Structures are given as structure tokens and as C-alpha cells.
Amino acid sequence: MFNKEQQLIETKIREFCAANDIPLAELKWQPIPFSGEWGFATSFFQTAANEARTGKSGKPVPLRAQEMAEQVKGQIGTVEGISRIDAVKGYLNLYFSTAAYASRVVGEVLASGPDFGRGTKKNERVMVEYAQPNTHHSFHIGHARNAILGEVLARLVEFAGFETIRASYPGDLGLGVITVMWIYDKLYKGQEPSGVHERGQWLAKLYVEATAMLEKKEDETPEQTAQREAYDAERREMYRKWDAGDATVRELWHRTREWSLEELRDILGILDIKIDVWFYESEVDEPSKVIIDELIQKNIADDERPNGGAVIVKIDEKLGLTKDKYRTAVVLRSDGTSLYLTKDLALAKVKFEQYHVDRSVYVVDFRQSLHFEQAFKILEMWGFPQASNCYHLSYGYVTLPEGAMSARRGTVALFKEVYDEAIKRVLQVETEKSADIPAEERQKIASQIGLGALVYSMLAVDNNKHIVFDINEALSFDGRTGPYIQNAYVRANSILKKANIQSFKAANSQNFDYELTKHEIELIEQISRFPQTVEQAANEYRPLVMASYAYDLANTFHSFYHAVNVMQTTDEKTRNARLQLVMAAKQTIENALRLLDIQSPDVM
RNA sequence: GCCUCCGUAGCUCAAUGGACAGAGCACCUGCCUUCUAAGCAGUAGGUUGUGGGUUCGAAUCCCGCCGGAGGCGCCA
């Protein structure tokens, strides 16, 4: 936000160093800590260390750095917009003129509104692939982490200026799917419940029951063994028919799959996720087999089928690596059927050639790391330059306090159940604290707050950390939580409501020419950091960066709220400036929450 | 056996080469006749698993060890 001043000072520093034969290191700027005043800073440690290496100065590095900072300070003189310059502990600190800085920050927020913080348009297209649950199961809290992470990442890169395509890739084939179809057809035909979620969850229960029926037990009798084997034969037969395109089985598959997809679409709706492109595993199955011939022809893949083997890619060997890194990947089974990797290669080709994506992000848990390293490397060998812009956003999976979730055993925390519980808990708090809000409005707010808590809890840990899902922690409304941030928004809104102000667009003359309190200064500084936070979070593919920022901003606002009573400010000009600051804070909180896929309720 | 990730306050997590390692929860002390107390202010809590190395400077980078999780040619 202050590039102009920064550029000017950088130039002066360069001139000074050139004139004095000082080997200047790369200039890195950072905000000055513990300020009651704001500004930016750079240090001279690296430069002093560089100089020491040339043997020019015998002084200890910190001392020499401080000396340089002082000399530079003397050289810069006065700069418009900069009130004073300090040399402290090897750092050069530049402080902004308060009134000018304040009105520039607040003015920019009010002028840009919902676009405050939006990055300049980049001429690159990014596809984010997330929401890849298997059909015929039910959406659990682990899927929710994936969907939330993917959606927030998409929002971040989109806001940072990239053209963004959201892709979902449900797994709609395989033995698990057939297992559910088998038990449905055998025992439960026509017995499905009618509600979307009830039916989706019911399918998950069938899967658990079917798995139990088909699983080998420890001390089973010969009759039980025969029974189990007979069941398994039925299931295999159904799989064979599916594969052969049998009309009845295909119809059953379509119908039951739709039940899962209906539930998925409904949950994505709850999470305000709008997928642009749906890839189904079943649709890339056939095309994926075709690409294998090309890989063999290009001498990337080796066909061991004549010797009873599979089609493999000896990645390390082809690359001339002596140590195990990418290892050997099987890209086609010996019987000619495709694998996970086969399909991902085919899908990547579609993404590159049909959707012309420059970057491709895969939001998938960390257990698939090797799989994606192999996939990306094969794509590179295949000749796709975009392969180097493929990124596996790996994240730790969600477990329950009692251990890993298992769809087979039915030990999962279902998203819908957690969501319903969240609403229930918020409504309870609402009845205690906000009895004045009309009942029908309360319901809507409860879902916004409940979801805010849940979503934030998924975003407030870094990608590579596992989450042990504790419902009481996830649905906490106190402290570092979604509702805490939403509450800051509500309080800002409450002040503006009391002042009866909707917008300052008509009369935007921010006049901060008064003695600003420490709280106002910190709030303005925090707001000014939003654009660079967007950039950082998008560049690093890290929603946590934005989640942390949103909390810090809310925290600063809450402190300001207590320390400075806006409506009781007697001086009218000061009160107006403060109202504009409140509006800028409200807008920034709203923008940050929107990127985090959390709604901003007007009251709570 | 090899590879990847993780180890920071009692607990859950921030800080990824720079200024005194910060938050929340839990504990303790204050603050609602004042714009919403889902809040604020304060106290307390640390040899950043461990031993070396690199650097002017290391929680951060490199190597060893200990502990945990995950992966390693026909599951996804």
C-alpha cells in the first residue's frame, strides 16, 4: 500500500551504498513491531555481514549494521508522507505521518468496498480440484475439511487475481460402490428413505452391513464360510455385469449414485460451494486406458504384459536416479484395467488440453503424496510443461478422539450431524443472549454462526497438521473462533446502525487530523495489511495465513471497541472520522470472512 | 530397509533466517446504569524432543539420535 515511499527510499539507500562502496544485500521490508506508531523497517545485518566478508570493516556485524542505519538515516532527509526516521539496533525504521496514512488507508477501503484487497489480474488460469468423496457413502467431517480447504483456496487465488476453475471429482466406481449396490439389490430394494440426507446416510449404513456380511470372521463355521463366499460371488458377478455395461446394473448404479450426489450437492450448497466442473471417475476410466499406448510408444512406460506383468513406469530408472525417489509406478493392471494413477494422468491431460489450465492444484490428504509426485513426474516426462505448475495441496487427515474414521466400520462423524448440532448449540446461546431477535431470523443466524465455528476450526491449523476432531472444540464460540470474528463484524455494524449510517460514498472526506489513540492506530495498521495477506495466502496456498489475519483483525477491533466509544465522541469531526474507520474495519472483516467461506451476520 | 511429514507453555496451535518465541483453552484478578460481556484489561506459565554443524544472527537451514504418524509396482 506504500510502494511509492518504499521505492523512493530504496533508491536513496542504493545511491548511498554505491557512493560509499558498501555491498548492499537484498532489501527486505517488514512492519515495525510494538508500535503505537506505524511504519516499515529494513535491517542492515546482511549488508554488514557482506562487508565483513570483504575484510573492509573489522567491527562486529550488529554494531556496523547500526552504524549503516544511522548513516542512511542521515542521507535520506525528508520524504513526503514519512514523519520521522529512526536507526535502532541495526534497523532503519520509517514512520508514517499519522493523518495522511490514516486517511489513505480508510479512503482506499471505502472506495474499493468488497474489492478492497483484490489483487491485480494475473494472466493465468488455475484449476483447484477438491471435493472428491466416494459415492454410495456419506459425507463426513474429513470430507468437510477437504471441501473447505479447497473452496477457501479457490477463493484466495481468485481474489488474488487468477482466473479460477473449481473442480470436483467424485469416486463413483470400484468395489466399494458395487458392495452397496449388491446389498441394496439383495435385501433393501425399494426401502430407501425419502429425505436427501436420510437416504445418503442410509447408503453408508448399508455399506457397513454389507462389509460385515462379506468379511471373513475369525472362527466361522463351514456354513458361514460357504455363505460368505456365495455373497462375494454375487458381488463379483455384479461388478462383471457393471463392467460389461449390463443395462439393469447400470440403471441401479445411476439411481443409487444420484442419491449420493444429491446429498453431496446439498452439503456443498450449505457450504456455499459452487463447483464449475464435475469429473466423475467413471468417465475417465475408458479414456485413461487409451493414453497408456501413447506412454508405451514414447518409451515412458514398459509393457510387461507379455510376461504376465503389468504396464509400469520405472520413473527413477528413466530419470537416471540411483536412489529411490519416485520408484516404479504401475499404470495399468495386467488384466488391462485402469488404476487410480491411470485415471489421474488422463484427467490431467483433460485439464491441460480442454480447460487450458496453467496451474493445477489438487487438494488431497497427505497419504497420497507419493502418488502425486509420480503423477506429476510422469506428466513432465510425457511433455506437459504445466506439470511443473501442478501442486498437491497435502493436508493432514481428520481423526476422532477414539481413532481413525472408517466408512467400512461406520465409525465416522457425519458432517450433517455435526452441522445440525452446531445450529442447536447456537440457538441455545441465542435464546439466552439475543432474545430480541425474531425467531425465524435466529434460525438463519444460527446456521451462519454454527458453520462459522466449524469452518474456522478447520482453517485455523496449517495444512500439514492432523486434526483430532473434538466437537466441543470445533463448536466453541469463545476465543480464537469463527464467531469471535463474526462478533467483531456485528459490533462494527451495531455502531453504524446506531449512527444511522449505511455508506460514506457520498461524503468521503476522511479527516484524521486529530490525536489518534493507540487503538485506532493499531486498527488502521491491521486493516492496511489485508492486501498483502491475500497475496501471501494465495501464493503459499495457505488458508491459515488468512484465518490468522482475520482473528488478529477482529482482536484489534474488539480492543478498539472497548477503548474508544465512537458514538460518545463529542467532537463531530473526530466522531465522523471514527465512524469511517469503523466502516473500513467492517468492510475488511467482511472481505476476510468471505475469503474464509464464513458469513457475516448483521446481528448475533 | 528406504522415503515424506510432525515434535514449541499443562492442552490445542501460531511464528519458516532477524528486534523481548506469540494466541486460544484451562487457572487466577479486575471490568456490564456507557455503540452487543459470544467481549475487554491484567497475572501466571518456555534450556522450541535431543546432540552437533552452518551463520553476524537459528524454533526456522544441514547432519546424527530419540519419539509419533504416513507411504513404498497391479487399493483409492
Stretch A14-26: mean pLDDT: 89
* Chain B nucleotides reached by a protein CB under 7 Å: 2-6, 12-15, 18-20, 23-26, 34-41, 55-57, 69-76
Q: Which nucleotide is nearest to A442 (CA to C1')?
A: B38
* Separation of CA A49 from chain center: 39
| Long-range CB contacts (within 8 A, 24+) of A559-566 | A559/A519, A559/A522, A560/A519, A560/A520, A560/A522, A560/A523, A560/A585, A561/A488, A561/A491, A561/A492, A561/A495, A563/A517, A563/A518, A563/A519, A564/A517, A564/A519, A564/A520, A566/A495, A566/A499
> What would the grid cell of residue A98 be?
499519522
d(CA A348, CA A338): 15
Q: From the CB of residue A334, how many other CB atoms can be counted at a distance below 10 Å?
A: 13
Distance A518 CA to B28 C1' (A): 28
What are the backbone dihedrals phi and psi of residue A601, each rounded to the nearest 5 degrees, phi first?
Answer: -75, 145
- With a cut of 70, say whether residue A507 has pLDDT above it: no
Q: Walk across the sheet containing A311-314 and list its strands.
A: A302-303, A311-314, A328-332
Least confident of A35-39, A470-474, A519-523: A35-39
Query: Taking all residues of chain A, what is their mean pLDDT, rounded to a whole number?
Result: 93
Distance A128 CA to B13 C1' (A): 27
Q: Specify the pLDDT at position A30.
A: 84
Stretch A410-431: mean pLDDT: 95
- With a cut of 50, say whether residue A506 has pLDDT above it: no
Q: Specify the pLDDT at position A36.
A: 67
**Residue A439 binned pLDDT confidence (cut-offs 50, 70, 90):** confident
Instruction: Specify which residues A277 forms β-bridges with.
Output: A167
d(CA A270, CA A266): 6
Dmax (CA) for chain A in angstroms is 95
Q: Specify the pLDDT at position A593.
A: 98
Q: Specify the pLDDT at position A252.
A: 97
Nucleic chain B contacts, protein chain A, residues 379-398, CB cut-off 7 A: 396
Residue A464 CB closer than 7 angstroms to strand B?
yes
Q: Specify the pLDDT at position A563.
A: 94
Stretch A427-435: mean pLDDT: 89
d(CA A323, CA A311): 22
**Residue A504 binned pLDDT confidence (cut-offs 50, 70, 90):** low
d(CA A314, CA A530): 47
Contacts of A236 (CB under 8 A, 6+ apart): none
Nucleotide B68, nearest residue via CA and C1': A466
Least confident of A118-127, A273-282, A321-330, A391-400: A321-330
Nucleic chain B contacts, protein chain A, residues 34-53, CB cut-off 7 A: 34, 41, 43, 45-46, 48-49, 52-53
| pLDDT tens-digit series, residues A462-502 | 999 999 999 999 999 999 999 999 999 999 999 999 998 76
* Separation of CA A444 from chain center: 25
Rounded to whole angstroms, what are the CA distances from A388 to A123, A127, A331, A359, A542?
17, 14, 20, 8, 19
Q: Which nucleotide is nearest to A467 (CA to C1')?
A: B12
CATH assignment of A3-96, given 3.50.50.60, 3.40.50.450, 3.40.50.300, 3.30.1360.70? 3.30.1360.70
DSSP codes of every residue in A511-563: ---S---HHHHHHHHHHHTHHHHHHHHHHTT-HHHHHHHHHHHHHHHHHHHHH
| pLDDT tens-digit series, residues A385-414 | 999 999 999 999 999 988 899 999 999 999
**More confident position, A459 or A439:** A459
Superfamily of domain A415-595: Isoleucyl-tRNA Synthetase; Domain 1 (1.10.730.10)
DSSP codes of every residue in A377-414: HHHHHHT-GGGGGEEEEEEPPEEBTTB--BTTTTB--B
d(CA A48, CA A183): 74
Distance A45 CA to B57 C1' (A): 8
> What would the grid cell of residue A46 be?
546482511
Q: Which nucleotide is nearest to A425 (CA to C1')?
A: B38
Nucleic chain B contacts, protein chain A, residues 331-370, CB cut-off 7 A: 333-335, 339-340, 366-370
Stretch A188-199: mean pLDDT: 96
Q: Specify the pLDDT at position A56.
A: 75
pTM, two decimal places:
0.95
- With a cut of 80, say whether residue A257 has pLDDT above it: yes
**Residue A210 binned pLDDT confidence (cut-offs 50, 70, 90):** very high
Stretch A199-204: mean pLDDT: 96
Domain ranges in chain A are 3-96, 415-595
| pLDDT tens-digit series, residues A132-152 | 999 999 999 999 999 999 999
Q: Specify the pLDDT at position A98.
A: 85
Stretch A74-90: mean pLDDT: 88
Least confident of A39-53, A226-240, A482-496, A541-555: A39-53
Residue A135 CB closer than 7 angstroms to strand B?
no
Stretch A89-97: mean pLDDT: 90
Residue type, A2: F
Residues A478 and A410 sit within 8 Å (Cβ to Cβ):
no
What's the DSSP call for residue A235? Answer: H
**Residue A34 binned pLDDT confidence (cut-offs 50, 70, 90):** low
Burial annotation A407-443 (CB, 10 A radius, 16+ → b, else e): beeeebbbbbbbbebbbebbbeebeeeeeebeeeebe
Residue A118 CB closer than 7 angstroms to strand B?
no
Residue A80 CB closer than 7 angstroms to strand B?
no
The residue written with cell numbers 495399468 in the block is: A332
Distance A334 CA to B58 C1' (A): 52
Distance A34 CA to B43 C1' (A): 21
Distance A21 CA to B55 C1' (A): 23
What element of type H or E holds A503? Answer: none
Residue A318 CB closer than 7 angstroms to strand B?
no
* CA nearest to A389, candidates A64, A122, A49: A122
